Amino acid sequence: MVATGLLLLVGLLAGWLWTPDRPRAELERLYLAAPTDLIELAGMRLHVRDSGPKHAPAVILLHGFGASLHTWEPWAKVLERDLRVVRIDLPGSGLSTPDPTGDYTDARSITVLLALMDRLGLAKASLVGHSIGGRIAWMFAAKHPERIGQLVLVAPDGFASPGFEYGQAPRVGLAVKAMRYILPKWLLRMSLAPAYGNPAAMTDALATRYHDLMLGPGTREAMIARMQQTVLVDPAPLLAQIAAPTLLVWGEKDGAIPFSNAADYQRALAQAKLASFPGVGHLPHEEAPARTLAPVRAFLLEPAAAATPGRTQP
């Protein structure tokens, strides 16, 4: 009887936590602005928003882990007044389908980015990247300097940290792998909350969007694969090759990638300025969009006069 009761309890708990995928068509009805934002490229259907004047200088925005192009909405609405703004859901993220090759390495992301630029007729563009999107952006800048204008790195990933050593794939524990089957919104919200310096910035609408888009078919498997395939290299030699003017944007209360890494980037990059924000966490573009966009916009529109060194005050 005890064993039967325990099995029943486990079954009820599993049923309560079980989080199935949501149909892609349903997610597209909720989060797709226009059917033309879905393009066939590199064997995938990628979600791309291309706004602003097409003749203007172009800037490409790359989101971080678990996010989507929607993360840039407040910044994009302002930047598109003067620039051609291209946002992309990385393969297996947001409304982009998983990569049929199963390859989620940085090298593959750079190949997809090059293909996108060629498809859009962009010989050169500035790059704005957040977190892993920042890592992809600076690696792209190092390997393809001829395709880069300016570089904006928002709390970029790349330096070693506990669990992420150079030359080694990280160990992805069972708790992370379990999200393929168990990801209730309250649990996701609890895991996202530390990314914000101000807990109130994690609104229910924001948590709902993150949760919905993580439930796309194949999205969670792609997230796990991206983690498993992340093998960091010492960034210093690559960063030293970057000649593009670079702006670092960092929340001083970043709980995901330490603000102290900003100094590492400044030492390694030839032309790096820093705009930092007290009390702001890992997602400055979501948490304090107007305040954090100001130096970014100045930098992208007037590179020579942009972002003086040191801290940008609120």
How far, in Å, CA of 303 to CA of 296, rounded? 10
Sign of the alpha-carbon dihedral angle for 133, 135, 139, 144: positive
Asked if 183 and 162 touch (Cβ cutoff 8 Å), the reply is no
How far, in Å, CA of 88 to CA of 8, rounded? 45
Averaged pLDDT, 20-25? 97
Sole residue written with tokens 């498809």: 119
Quickly state the pLDDT bin for 253 (edges 50, 70, 90).
Answer: very high
Domain ranges for the chain, please list them: 23-303
Residue type, 157: D
Asked if 265 and 153 touch (Cβ cutoff 8 Å), the reply is yes
Q: Sheet containing 125-130: give its strands across.
A: 38-41, 44-51, 84-88, 58-62, 125-130, 148-154, 246-251, 272-277
Q: The pTM is what?
A: 0.91
Asked if 101 and 109 touch (Cβ cutoff 8 Å), the reply is no
Quickly state the pLDDT bin for 303 (edges 50, 70, 90).
Answer: low
Quickly state the pLDDT bin for 173 (edges 50, 70, 90).
Answer: confident
How far, in Å, CA of 309 to CA of 94, rounded? 35
Averaged pLDDT, 37-45? 97
Per-residue model confidence (pLDDT) at position 13 = 44
Classified as helix, coil or strand, 6 is helix
Q: Which residues pair with 274 in a beta bridge?
A: 248
Quickly state the pLDDT bin for 304 (edges 50, 70, 90).
Answer: very low
Q: What is the DSSP-derived secondary structure letter of residue 18?
A: B
Residues 255/104/210/159 CA torsion (nearest 10 deg): 10
State what percent of residues in the chain have pLDDT above 70.
Answer: 91
| CATH architecture entry for 23-303 | 3-Layer(aba) Sandwich (3.40)
The residue among 234, 228, 230 whose CA lies nearest residue 171 is: 228
Quickly state the pLDDT bin for 15 (edges 50, 70, 90).
Answer: low
Sole residue written with tokens 């007290």: 278
Mean pLDDT of the chain: 91
Residues 133/138/142/147 CA torsion (nearest 10 deg): 70
Sign of the alpha-carbon dihedral angle for 272, 275, 276, 281: negative
**Is it the case that residue 8 has pLDDT exceeding 50?**
no
Asked if 74 and 17 touch (Cβ cutoff 8 Å), the reply is no
How far, in Å, CA of 125 to CA of 240, rounded? 20
